[in-house]
Chain A
Amino acid sequence: MTNREPLLRVEDLVVDYYSPRGVVRAVDHISFDIMPGEIVGLAGESGCGKSTAANAILGILREPAQMTNGRIFFQGQDIASMPPRAHRKFRWRHISMVFQSAMNALNPVLRVGDQFVDMVQAHERVSKRDALDRARDLLRMVGIDPLRVSAYPHELSGGMRQRVIIAMALALQPELIIMDEPTTALDVVVQREILQEIEELQRELQFAVLFITHDLSLLVEFSNRIAIMYAGEIVEMARAQELFREPKHPYTVGLMNSFPSLVGPKSMITGIPGSPPDLANPPTGCRFSPRCPHCTPYKTMVHPVLQEIEPGHLVACHLYGAEQELTHERASTAS
């Protein structure tokens, strides 16, 4: 990595859901940054807090979710503390997002073109006509017939809808696009096509990407760096090749072994026994310990901190790095 200033810097982000079952801490003190033009992967099992983190970064958390700690810097500016009006102008212009659910992310009663127009007009003073022209160009760019601007979402296939959303995400030429499992709702063939297209567009336009997936294999060639998330925390972060060559955290190793095969039917052969913890009531100490064969009982009581064990390789696990003290963590979890 160079010494350039990061495009996005997430510091100590915490997001809580105030649910009837109690407070669910879906994102627990995560920190990372993204360089301009960089592709960062965020992987982890379903429910580990990936989408929640993404929504917090984009500033679109809604009740009952609340960002209870942390700061989010974009090009050095703290965007999480922006007043709502300014933030509305900021998002999509600088950070856009391709949503997890292609099927439902478009308004069913508005034409595709109109959903471009209102977005462009919310940020720029342009005529409807010019905005529609731009929509046509963008659709062409993602491989959709420009005439489809006058289609309603239900007239498009799932793959086409996802391309439309990608086109919308590109429209204002943002520096960062968050892609939240952009292809999970689609069949394998379409998945591949769309991924390739995203790759080409990224090479051409040089936007940075935060690519969220629970399918680590997708990230192999695609991303520069990968963060692994478990139960609301980042447990490992490294350059992509390094992570694949030498996964350190037992959870990452488990994820690697549970690769779905690229050709065969998409079955998740889970290499990790057990299931993720309940975030309303997470285990004390290392959250992965109930599923981990490696730790001594004493050490599992201690919460492992994310630390750099090799240049650019961060792991939160007692098997690596300096000995970690039994901190006040215990006292706080006992309460």
Chain B
Amino acid sequence: MPFLYRRIAFYVIALWTSLTLNFLLPRLMPGKPIDAFYARYRLEIQNNPHFLDSLRIELGLPKTPLWQQYIQYIVNMLHGNFGISYSFYPTPVIDVIRTTLPWTLFLAGTATILTFLIGTFLGIVVAWRRGGKLDSLLPPVTMFASSFPAFFLALLLLYVLAYIGGWFPLEHSYSGGTDIGLNWPFLTDVADHAILPVAVIVLTGVGGWLLGMRNVMINTLAEDFITMAHAKGLSDFRVMMMYAARNAILPSLTGFAIALAYTVGGLVLIETVFSYPGVGFTLVQAAQGSDYPLVQALLMLITVCVLLANLFVDLIYARLDPRARTQ
């Protein structure tokens, strides 16, 4: 399947580019990362002249030429060896990621997939009954919801439903004291904590999918193969799903990849509002604390997520659109 090879080659290059940028950015910024440690370990440095050198090595900041650092960096990254977090010193970055990434994937995945499914389905229905009651109600209402900035809606919901109403937890992804694992109390607790952030993403996102799907769907419904499908005596449901929606969804799928990737990175604000211990929340903390290894690792992670989401959609697309396979 040469189509797939080409795509994969593209992803490898994209990954390499972002790795390189990721390497250069902190080195181009003013202030050396090690400076932060002078203050913290002043006493040790005064007592032990070698302490600084060993710290440099431990932190992955040896005094070697840039190109050597670059190669070392790439090798480290490919081995998943992201170094040690400054702000959570001496926790390795990989461990920080291990505790934050699942939360973000869970939140972003659930929210984006729900948004996509709900929006697309509503778009299909509304286009099919174009000009009907639902069609005059849903698009403006969902677009109104989308016009709120996500963090504003997040604050609003948090304030009204969690702070005043007390129906939802105020922060974090689960309550302290619950027994972490695959048990019912923990799972419901996690769901409880996820409802508001997911609701914010769904509410602000559904309108876009709905309108996008509706527009493409209306164009598709004017196609001759739809008329022929009706003429053949097929049921309305089959015409709507297998003839109209099945074609109209193709442009949305590309958007879905972008959205999925965007949510992983774009959860920063939402996670911050809900103090949700995911990648976005951690990224903000890491950036504030000049924790370069953590920032780098998180940025790379987001890149990889974007690329994987795209690859995933490429695969689905090739399955759903026979024309894409031969192009």
Contact = CB atoms under 8 A, between A and B. Distances in A.
Contacts of A324: none
Interface of B: 131, 223-225, 227-235, 238, 242-243, 246-247, 250, 320-323, 326
8 contacts: A88-B234, A88-B235, A91-B232, A122-B233, A122-B234, A122-B238, A154-B326, A155-B326
A152 interface: yes
A8 to B, nearest CB: 16
Chain B binding surface, main DSSP class: helix
A99 B233 contact: no
B322 A92 contact: no
B224 A109 contact: no
A138 B243 CA distance: 23
Contact of A99 (B228, B242, B250): B228
A101 B226 CA distance: 12
Contact of A104 (B224, B230, B232, B234): B224
Q: Which of B233, B321, B326 has the most CB of A within 10 A?
A: B233
A109 B228 contact: no
Contacts of A90: 233
Contacts of A154: 322-323, 326
Interface string A144-185: 000000001011000000000100100000000000000000
Contact of A152 (B230, B242, B322): B322
B322 A105 contact: no
A118 B241 CA distance: 13
Contact of B233 (A109, A123, A155): A123
B323 to A, nearest CB: 5
A287 interface: no
B322 A107 contact: no
Nearest to A58: B231
A315 interface: no
Residue picked from B131, B242, B322, B323, most chain A C-beta under 10 Å: B322
A93 B233 contact: yes
Contacts of A122: 232-235, 238
Given A93-B233, A107-B225, A107-B243, 6 more contacts: A88-B235, A89-B233, A92-B232, A106-B225, A107-B246, A155-B322
Nearest to A98: B228
A96 interface: yes
Contacts of B323: 108, 152, 154
A108 B232 CA distance: 16
Given A108-B247, A122-B232, A101 B224 contact: yes
Contacts of B229: 107
Candidate in A58, A92, A107 with the most chain B CB atoms within 10 angstroms: A107
A210 B69 CA distance: 79
B322 to A, nearest CB: 4
A60 interface: yes
Contact of A118 (B224, B238, B321): B238
Nearest to A100: B224
A55 to B, nearest CB: 8
Interface centre among B224, B232, B235, B242 (most CB of A within 10 A): B232
A119 interface: yes
Contacts of A55: 227
A161 B231 CA distance: 17
Contacts of B230: 60, 62
B227 A118 contact: no
A110 interface: yes
Contacts of A105: 224-225, 227-228
**When A and B form their complex, which 4 residue pairs have the shortest distance between CB atoms, in order from nearest?**
A152-B322, A104-B224, A119-B232, A105-B228
A109 B227 contact: no
Interface string A77-107: 0000000000011111100110111001111
Given A118-B242, A154-B323, A106 B232 contact: no
Given A109-B321, A152-B322, A91 B231 contact: yes
B320 A109 contact: yes
A10 to B, nearest CB: 17
A63 B227 CA distance: 12
Contacts of A88: 233-235
B231 A107 contact: no
B234 A60 contact: no
A109 B224 CA distance: 14
A60 B233 CA distance: 10
Contact of A60 (B231, B246, B250): B231
A91 B233 contact: yes
B292 to A, nearest CB: 48
B233 A92 contact: yes
Interface string A225-259: 00000000000000000000000000000000000
A155 B234 CA distance: 24
Of A58, A122, A165, A168, most buried by chain B (CB within 10 Å of CB) is A122
Contacts of A110: 242-243, 246
A117 B320 CA distance: 19
B235 A107 contact: no
Contact of B232 (A62, A109, A111, A118): A118
Contacts of A100: 224
B297 to A, nearest CB: 41
B227 A62 contact: yes
A89 B232 CA distance: 9
A262 B321 CA distance: 40
Contacts of B235: 88, 122
A96 B231 CA distance: 7
Contacts of A60: 227, 230-231
B131 to A, nearest CB: 8
A215 to B, nearest CB: 20
Given A92-B231, A93-B233, A118-B234, A99 B224 contact: yes
A97 B322 CA distance: 26
B201 to A, nearest CB: 30
Contacts of A107: 225, 229, 242-243, 246-247
